Amino acid sequence: MAAAAVDMISPLSLRLERQCDAGGTRVATVGAYARTVRRFSLWMKAHPIAGDSVIAAMLACMELVSVFAVPGGVNQVVYWLVGIGLLAPLVIRRRDPLLAGYLILASGFAQLITHGPNPGGIDARIRVADIALGMALYTIVAYIGRRQGALYVLWLAIGTVLWAVWRMGLPQGILPTLVIVVIFAFCWVLGEFSGARAAYHREVEQRLALLETERDQQARIAVGQERARIARELHDVVAHAVSVIVVQADGAAYAVRKQPDLAEKAIRTISATGREALTELRRLLGVLRSDDTESDRAPQPGAQSISDLAERVRAIGVPVRLDLTGELDDLPAGVGLGIYRIVQEALTNTIKHAGPGATAAVQVRRVGDRVELDISDCGSGAPRHGLAVGGNGLIGMRERANVFGGTLQAGPQPDGGWRVRAVLPVSAS
């Protein structure tokens, strides 16, 4: 039982620490004590020989206290050597359970052969150090397995029967034998429980590690896919700007002599379009580009398309209140596309998660050189706490905001529903 207590101290101290999280000065003191106990238990777990040495020393002290002189029926030197053989292997019982167990078993058989009856004094046929046999059985079952434990039990059974018949005699040896059998059975059950608990914890840790790995991989895949999609969209924006520059440059070259005013206007258009294209190119540099098909190069929507998006959502059955404020028609094409996609993803989450009877409110406001987005719903559907951790849609919205140097926040509202807030700068610094 002492060995089981040492093996289970870490889970118990962890449970104590978790129970000490409910407020107050006393709880804080108990929590600090629990953390100290846990650190000590973790150190003991990392250095099993230290804990097992304490157990062996305690049993040795009990052995010394239980006898005031060497019992009769056994040589004095043999008595102490057998005691050392029973207790010393306990020091390595968790480092090498089989070796320790069979060293203790060999000492037990030596006791069976050398310790005879002593009618006139202290009897050496049973001693405190014999507890090591039960501890060895518990350790083998808990750390090695049932097969080795069953083989060890077989040897214990042989030794116990010989002890009962040869040393104790029948019928006097029946009652002590039954007590020993109950003790060994209890050690087996305790070993089964401890081994199953340790196996369960190992499996949980492996599953948690696997889930963390899968989550990280899925997040990286989602980020890569979203960046590739953003790259394709920005490609269309930049291609459009370059096409405008080429056309305007050709026109300016044709009209530079005969219509200088028209050529000057074309050059101004080239300048403005070039600055816009340069901004988009800077944003594009950090985005991984993947191969796309011609079907991916369809004209992309912008901020002016949000009204059509709201109408489509209303047609599905979700009332949407739309508020567009400020000059949104002359936004750079990339910024307009990012705004549209963020609103689209937020409304898609409303449709998927908000539940029946939900309503949404979309506010897009241009303030100076930035655009502020506020998309909220009052849905009471399934909880969406997981979206704030690893939802692919939320990852995509954040990536879009980051590409344009903006910020995005998303999370549940205190009174229910979900809210997405984003700020996107109109032009790069």
Tokens 């100076």 appear where?
Answer: 368
Q: What is the CATH number of domain 225-296?
A: 1.20.5
Cα–Cα distance measured from residue 375 to residue 410, given in angstroms and rounded to the nearest whole number: 9
Q: Where in the chain is the domain with CATH 1.20.5?
A: 225-296
User: SS in 3 state form for 278-328?
Assistant: HHHHHHHCCCCCCCCCHHHCCCCCCHHHHHHHHHHHHHHCCCEEEEEECCC
Q: Residue range 253-265: average pLDDT?
A: 81
Mean pLDDT for the chain overall: 81
Predicted confidence at residue 258, as pLDDT, reads: 80
Predicted confidence at residue 9, as pLDDT, reads: 46
Cα–Cα distance measured from residue 28 to residue 411, given in angstroms and rounded to the nearest whole number: 31
Q: Is the pLDDT of residue 397 over 90?
A: no
Predicted confidence at residue 402, as pLDDT, reads: 86
Count of C-beta atoms within a 10 Å radius of residue 96: 13
Cα–Cα distance measured from residue 218 to residue 26, given in angstroms and rounded to the nearest whole number: 44
Predicted confidence at residue 28, as pLDDT, reads: 63
Q: Is the pLDDT of residue 10 over 70?
A: no
CA-based nearest residue to 2, from 96, 128, 131: 131
- The amino acid at 278: L
Q: What is the pLDDT of residues 77-92, one digit of tens each?
A: 898 999 999 999 999 9
Q: Is the pLDDT of residue 335 over 90?
A: no
Cα–Cα distance measured from residue 240 to residue 332, given in angstroms and rounded to the nearest whole number: 12
Q: Is the pLDDT of residue 417 over 60?
A: yes
Tokens 């359970």 appear where?
Answer: 97
Q: What are the backbone angles phi and psi of residue 94, rounded to the nearest 5°?
A: -95, -25
Cα–Cα distance measured from residue 236 to residue 334, given in angstroms and rounded to the nearest whole number: 9
Asked whether 354 and 418 are in contact (CB, 8 A), the reply is: yes
Supply the Cα-derived Rg of the chain in whole angstroms: 39
- Name the 3-class secondary structure at 421: strand
Cα–Cα distance measured from residue 372 to residue 366, given in angstroms and rounded to the nearest whole number: 6
Q: What is the pLDDT of residues 219-248, one digit of tens each?
A: 888 777 777 777 766 666 666 677 677 777
Cα–Cα distance measured from residue 67 to residue 86, given in angstroms and rounded to the nearest whole number: 16
Asked whether 388 and 394 are in contact (CB, 8 A), the reply is: yes
Predicted confidence at residue 295, as pLDDT, reads: 44
Q: Is the pLDDT of residue 125 over 50?
A: yes
Total count of residues recorded for the chain: 429
Better pLDDT: 372 or 72: 372
Q: What is the pLDDT of residues 102-112, one digit of tens each?
A: 999 999 999 99
Q: Is the pLDDT of residue 122 over 70?
A: no
Q: Is the pLDDT of residue 376 over 50?
A: yes
Predicted confidence at residue 16, as pLDDT, reads: 47
Predicted confidence at residue 27, as pLDDT, reads: 56
Q: Where in the chain is the domain with CATH 3.30.565.10?
A: 303-425
Q: What is the pLDDT of residues 35-58, one digit of tens each?
A: 888 888 788 778 889 889 999 999
Q: Is the pLDDT of residue 5 over 70?
A: no
Predicted confidence at residue 18, as pLDDT, reads: 54
Better pLDDT: 283 or 198: 198
Asked whether 49 and 28 are in contact (CB, 8 A), the reply is: no
Cα–Cα distance measured from residue 375 to residue 359, given in angstroms and rounded to the nearest whole number: 11
Q: Is the pLDDT of residue 390 over 60?
A: no
Cα–Cα distance measured from residue 211 to residue 352, given in angstroms and rounded to the nearest whole number: 25
Sign of CA dihedral 29, 30, 35, 40: positive
What fold characterizes domain 303-425?
A: Heat Shock Protein 90 (3.30.565)
